Amino acid sequence: MRRILCLHLPYLETQRAWQDAARSPDSPVKGGAGKPVSERPDSGTSYTRPLVLTRTAGSSLLVSQACPLAQAAGVRPGITLSQACAMVPDLLAWPSHPARDAATLRRLAVWAMRFSPLVEADPPHMLLLDITGCERLFEGELNIARLAVDGLSRRGFFARAAIADTLGAAWALAFAGGESLVIVPPGHTPAHLAPLPPAALRIDPSTVERLEAVGLRTIGNLLMIPRSLLPARFGAGLVRRLEQALGEVSEPVAPLRPDTPPFARASLDPPCADRAALLATASALLDDVAGQLRERGLALQRLDCVLYRARPFAFPGRREQDSGGPLVLCVRLAFPTRDAGHIRPLLERQFERLHWATSRSDVPVNALSGSWETPAFTGLMLVARRLARCAPEQGDLFSPREPGIDEAIGVLVDRLAAQLGHEAIVRPRLIDDHQPEFAQRWISAAEVGCQAWDGLDGGAGSRQTASDTPPAARPRPVRLLARPLPIRALALAPDGAPAWLAWAGREHRVAIARGPERIETAWWRGRDVQRDYFRVTLDTGERLWVFRPMSADGWYLHGLFA
């Protein structure tokens, strides 16, 4: 008899949105001192404020999903956002992203394959696993369900689990069973389904309304009616779902088949410990992977070289024994590519980082960690990761194609990162934030690529009251001081621009002053910052960016224009 595990994630959308926001460097869902919100083992993501997701319906914004805090306050999907805000004054409302939710469910389905090879993602909230025969690997069905629920909780998602003989029964119990974990003994499906509402059978809402109108409010009520009378009144779909839940009609799990990344593998017999031979094998495999990428129209931004150890090996001077697991060398690229000629020297550099002992030529030593590795390797595999679509390029008939500026920068960054390390190569990323201190951050160029900037990162850092002009369109100094520098200045009007200031040991008359531009910080940053900025040109021609705090006296220099 087959056994099906159903995992119901009722708050997947809001928990996914909360986690996305928590990963932002400046977000209202951060805890104190900028720390992310905590997670509870029993409910996944821990909300600090009520949250709803919205969708547009005509000229109205409707609530599509509500977190547990919002639901406890009476907010339900389908009401307007204005009604929800009236019920919960401090409500957070973000737009829904069905594509991201579907991708998250699929990613969780791939993760769940550690419990069974047959996993189905059933949007919007269900994961279905055929665990028939898998209980022996986990010492029982209860352990499978607990491990799955705990694993999802650690990833920030609350889940209810149910195990039954049929897919329909497991789905119904996880959806409407009212318990966090239900296991139906084999052959006892009807008794556990009887108290559940008909909506748990996955029938359309109109059929549910017709059933309730005649007093059929549980599946047990349906089972008391002759099956032949149901289709004429409620349709054949109800009978089919009922038979599937009872196991009278087969309903197998439609397993997810994740895309296999391009890879190439070679076995080494006898085991090889020679670096030159391993490099030659890896080079041949790289050509194979590059060919697969061209056939699929893809490019990679990370290449994993997996070296399989020959056998467990006792470390000199240590009691424990090496597990014999594979050694992974990772080549990260700043720009997606499928050019084997560009990747090959970077892969060779990874091999060079492993120092091969001269006293014992058969035992390589990891130069980075100083630990002894296994004597030899039995196999080698290259796997393409972080794939991206690569549009075909038309070459010139009479001259070779010249690399574009983005591609050339990517090649340079890759070579520098191979020598200096990926974290040593950084680039500024503009953030859509009005407060100058938070308008950019440094990120690894090898992680995000080196394409030309196509806009600002979305952020939610502050609000601006002086004008509706986007911050990117406003003049900003070429040099921004890390900390505002106090200066002496004199304004002729209480709220006016400075007419005189002292800077760098000299006194200056202000020839031209433009402003003010008022900048205020967001409420979740704690203490408010309110400033009036001015762009001033001194009598010497120097152009400065100065401001006056609204809450205190004094003037500050914050930047210098070219």
Residue 42 scores a pLDDT above 90: no
- What homologous superfamily does CATH list for 263-391? DNA polymerase, Y-family, little finger domain (3.30.1490.100)
Q: Specify the domain boundaries for CATH 3.30.1490.100 within the chain.
A: 263-391
State the DSSP string of 173-227.
Answer: HHHHS-SSEEEPPTT-HHHHHTTS-GGGG---HHHHHHHHHTT--SHHHHHTS-G
Encode pLDDT of 270-291 as tens digits.
888 888 999 999 999 999 999 9
Confidence of residue 45 (pLDDT cuts 50, 70, 90): low
Residue 291 φ/ψ region, left for φ over 0, alpha for ψ in the -120 to 50 degree band, beta for the rest: alpha
The mean pLDDT value of the chain amounts to 82
pLDDT score, position 398: 60
DSSP 431: B
pLDDT band at 311 (very low <50, low <70, confident <90, very high): low
- Which position has the higher pLDDT, 42 or 267? 267
> What is the SS3 assignment for 271?
strand
Write down the pLDDT at residue 446: 58
Q: What pTM was computed for the model?
A: 0.60
67-110 pLDDT per residue, tens: 999 999 999 999 999 999 999 999 999 999 999 999 999 999 99
* Cβ-based burial of 167 (10 A; exposed 0-12, middle 13-18, buried ≥19): buried
| Dihedrals phi, psi of 468, to nearest 5 degrees | -95, 5
pLDDT-derived band of residue 28, with 50, 70 and 90 as boundaries?
A: low
Residue 291 pLDDT = 94
- pLDDT 10s digits, 153-166: 999 999 999 999 99
What is the mean predicted confidence (pLDDT) over 512-530?
A: 77
Q: Work out the average pLDDT over 233-260.
A: 92
Least confident of 180-194, 297-311, 317-331, 500-514: 317-331
> Could you tell me which residues come within 8 angstroms of residue 125 by beta carbon, excluding any fewer than 6 positions away?
8, 9, 10, 12, 105
**Could you give the CA distance from residue 317 to residue 412 in angstroms, rounded to a whole number?**
43
Position 465 confidence tier, pLDDT thresholds 50, 70, 90: very low
Residue 373 clears pLDDT 70, i.e. is over it: no
Query: What is the mean pLDDT of the segment spanning 118-138?
Result: 95
Output the pLDDT for position 253: 95
Q: Is the pLDDT assigned to residue 36 strictly greater than 50?
A: no
Tell the residue number behind the tokens 């690894």, with chain if given: 444
Question: Helix axis angle, 340-352 relative to 275-296, nearest 10°?
Answer: 150
Higher model confidence: residue 537 or residue 412? 537
Q: Which residue has the higher pLDDT, 461 or 528?
A: 528
Residue 38 has pLDDT above 50, yes or no: no
Q: How confident is the model at residue 546 (pLDDT cuts 50, 70, 90)?
A: very high
- Rounded mean pLDDT of 160-173? 97
Spatial separation of the C-alpha atoms in residues 429 and 443, rounded to whole Å:
7
Q: Sign of the C-alpha dihedral, residues 284, 287, 292, 295? A: negative
Reply yes or no on domain 10-95 having CATH 3.40.1170.60: yes
Supply the pLDDT for residue 509: 94
In this predicted structure, the answer to whether residue 191 has a pLDDT above a threshold of 70 is yes
What integer pLDDT is reported at residue 62 of this predicted model? 96
Helix, strand, or coil here: 169? helix
Whether 450 has a pLDDT exceeding 70, the answer reads no
Give the H or E element holding residue 241.
Answer: helix 236-246
Report pLDDT for 30. Answer: 46
Per DSSP (E only), the strands in 246-376 are 263-272, 298-309, 327-337, 354-356, 364-366
- pLDDT above 90 covers what percent of the chain? 56
Model confidence at 516: pLDDT above 60? yes
Q: In which residue ranges of the chain is CATH 3.40.1170.60 found?
A: 10-95
Who wins on pLDDT, 297 or 394? Answer: 297
Whether pLDDT at 316 is above 60: no
417 pLDDT exceeds 90?
no
Q: Which amino acid appears at position 440 of this protein?
A: Q
Q: What is the pLDDT of residue 53?
A: 96
pLDDT class of 55 with cuts at 50, 70, 90: very high
Please state, as a whole number, how many other Cβ atoms lie within 10 Å of the Cβ of residue 162: 26
